[in-house]
Structure 1
């Protein structure tokens, strides 16, 4: 393919159309404005804004972030400004962005999720909802919604029933079988999935013999979790028919290509932004360059092209 050939970078995520497959992950890109002086948000396929709850949350006590040898632990505790301030202060800013805006929502009861979805009806600046089901479920004694297929399905049904936008459900890796949860939320009406959320971990200060994080444990992200994320993506795309947005340890274009080849329809980049604020833009450019080099005219055609041993044996016959 000639070096000046234009690669079609557009991808579909159910009813959602993205200008390219790279989306900034929730909690790592603020509301877009925080990075505006360094990166033009219009160069991204989309951004997922910081998690939103009905009421403001201060989050967990510090320390809330700690670097690990191959990633990052965070225990921010879903701190956010709450629905009212989001509508008054953040929506006008999001309206000015020339990219897809996805709002990550969470609650501690099924009713809270439904209420948030309903409150975001008719907000033109919001293109889709991402449902974080890793929160403690107060209806079931604190067990996270995302670890129980019945609870995950109920939350999804509540959001879908109250939403007027595409619904993406973000799955937790802290389960025995992620495919069980994926099929449950698909049956409940989800338009797409995103995975994986962070893995639970902790760090210890050997001098003080105390946990480094004020909350004791936190969510591990970054390169350490990429192999886990890839395998869970591989399992999930074969278990459901709805599209999947992959994430977990994507630091450069080659990482992103692994996820696309494994079957992701789109990708989220998170921890990489703390190392390089331009990571998402550079990753998108790297994918485009790869497609041009390999003669791939549509990046969507790359998704799910993984050749396993079974596939190779079929081709060789």
Structure 2
């Protein structure tokens, strides 16, 4: 792997800045192993202490510029998921995504995954009850959640934030003050779609989270604003479908970029993005780490 693609995020060394976003590939080690062959790191689907069934179908639908989903944080529970992840091959670093109701529950979850390279705190899912955005919209609670998790692990801890808050920078600062090693921005936006013939919402949960290329400008602006105010690394997420999107996020301040919805259209997206980034660095003669935040210095 070319040196020019390597990045370091909060001490996690990655061969390229491409990360699997949480929630896309389910809870199977086999799926994670396959994608980790070309990804710089993978993030698991969010897991809680107890099993969660999630919402009934239809839970995912296409729209013109992406997807809308209301899966409902379906999860096998921490104990079963930890067993499943024992088959992860560690071709690239593994980051386990966690959701919980309280700071103490978040901290307890960490103990099940001591083998993980890092943790992502889901403080932003817009369609689950009493978790995700419900806890991630309160700066004081975010600060305490991060603080408790940091007490429970020496691994890097990343707070995944929502654009569905009044001030994402305020939440980001709270996470930084709590000791977060990095920020992931952003999770999905709230949205819905109505069947004009059935005259009813399509999703069983009525509304869900909007992802895909349509939200990329929102995500890039959030990364830009967070980079201006925070000193910890930022991971961009939202609407990446091409190598140009990766570069745009990095210029805005992201050290790495997560890919999610694009996998619904191509299961070779990590390979194709990686090869395109190799061509880009050969053309410019730059290391990707050197362009992080460059648009702020222009």
TM-score, normalized by the shorter chain, greater than 0.5: yes
3-state SS in 1 of match to 2:230: coil
Please point out which of 71, 80, 85 is paired with 2:80.
85
Q: Does 1:212 align with 2:212?
A: no
Q: Does 1:12 align with 2:8?
A: yes
Distance in 2, Cα, partners of 1:138 & 1:284: 38
Note the aligned Cα RMSD (angstroms).
Answer: 1.9
Please point out which of 291, 300, 310 is paired with 2:289.
300
Distance in 1, Cα, partners of 2:224 & 2:278: 23
3-state SS in 2 of match to 1:119: coil
3-state SS in 2 of match to 1:245: strand
Distance in 2, Cα, partners of 1:275 & 1:216: 24
Match in the other structure for 1:315:
none
4+ residue segments displaced more than 3 Å: 135-139
TM-score normalised according to structure 2 size? 0.94
Match in the other structure for 2:281:
291
What pairs with 1:110-189 in structure 2 (closer than 5 Å)? Answer: 110-120=103-113, 123-124=114-115, 126-134=116-124, 138=130, 144-189=134-179
Distance in 2, Cα, partners of 1:119 & 1:262: 35
3-state SS in 2 of match to 1:52: coil
5+ long unaligned stretches in structure 2: none
The verdict on how the C-alpha distance between 1:76 and 1:283 changes in structure 2, with shifts beyond 3 A counting, is same
Between Structure 1 and Structure 2, how many residues are aligned? 295
5+ long unaligned stretches in structure 1: 313-317
3-state SS in 2 of match to 1:272: helix
3-state SS in 1 of match to 2:45: strand
Match in the other structure for 1:23:
19
Write the deviation string for residues 146-195 of structure 1: whole angstroms up to 9, x where unpaired: 21111111111111111231101100110111100000000000001111
Post-superposition offset of 1:138: 4.5
Post-superposition offset of 1:262: 1.1
Post-superposition offset of 1:119: 2.9
3-state SS in 1 of match to 2:4: coil
